[in-house]
Amino acid sequence: MTTIKDNIAASTDPSAANDTTEGYAPGSEWYNTLTGQMWRAISVASGAAQWMRLAPAPAWPTGYYRPPAHIYAVNDGQVAANKLTMMPLLIHRRVTIDRIALWLVTGQTGAEMRLGLYRSDAFTEMPGTLFAEAGTVDLSGSASLKTITVSWSLVPGQYWLAALNKASGTLPTVVALAAPFSVMCSAMMATRSQAPMPGAISKPRRVTAACLPTHRRW
Q: Can you give the CATH number for the domain in which 112 is found?
A: 2.60.120
Q: Do 132 and 30 share a structural domain? A: no
Beta-carbon-side half-sphere exposure of residue 113 (alpha carbons within 13 Å): 36
Question: Do both 162 and 78 map to the same domain?
Answer: yes
* pTM recorded for the entire structure: 0.68
What distances in angstroms separate CA 98 from CA 31, 38, 215, one per listed residue?
Answer: 22, 22, 8
The arithmetic mean of pLDDT across residues 194-208, rounded, is: 65
- List pLDDT tens digits, range 154-199: 877 889 888 888 766 677 777 765 554 444 444 433 334 556 777 8
113: exposed, middle or buried (C-beta count within 10 Å: 0-12, 13-18, 19+)?
A: buried
Residue 186 lies in a domain: yes
The predicted pLDDT at position 214 comes to 56
Instruction: List C-alpha distances in Å: 111 to 69, 153, 171, 173, 177.
Output: 28, 29, 7, 10, 20
Are 103 and 211 contained in the same domain? Answer: yes
